[in-house]
Amino acid sequence: MSKENASKEKKTPRKQQVFTLLVEVGRSKDDGLPEGSTGAALMCYASGVDEAEAVRETVAILKQADMAPLDVSGYGTLDERIAEGHDIGADERKLMAQALSDNAVIVAQVTPFYDEDETD
């Protein structure tokens, strides 16, 4: 066995984790956002071996859904959020567990943005 193969075998697979991400999206055709909105904030739970992978997967999924991701803010894993003092309820924990078991991106909340200068 070569040294290269031996070192590959010793590597343990990195464990999937769930990251909390806040994604700001702009408008695009067929994005499903409410008429008149200028974009939205999406609270997502995404699995990945690290936050960078979770962000990449989330952006890719949102683009496939005809959304226009503009910015992503990461809030860490469940353990990191608990350490920071975040109050995480049972519903949120359930969605995180689902994201992990399904190796998925779950959009938990969509908050549309509206231009304050617009009048109806």
Which long-range CB contacts under 8 A does 27-30 form with residues at least 24 apart?
27/68, 28/66, 28/67, 28/68, 29/66, 30/66
Q: Residue 3's Cα: distance from chain center in Å?
A: 38
The structure's pTM equals: 0.84
What letter does residue 50 receive in the DSSP assignment? Answer: S
Task: Determine the average pLDDT of the residues in 96-107.
Answer: 96
At 16-30, the pLDDT tens digits run 999 999 999 999 999
At 36-95, the pLDDT tens digits run 999 999 999 999 999 999 999 999 999 999 999 999 999 999 999 999 999 999 999 999
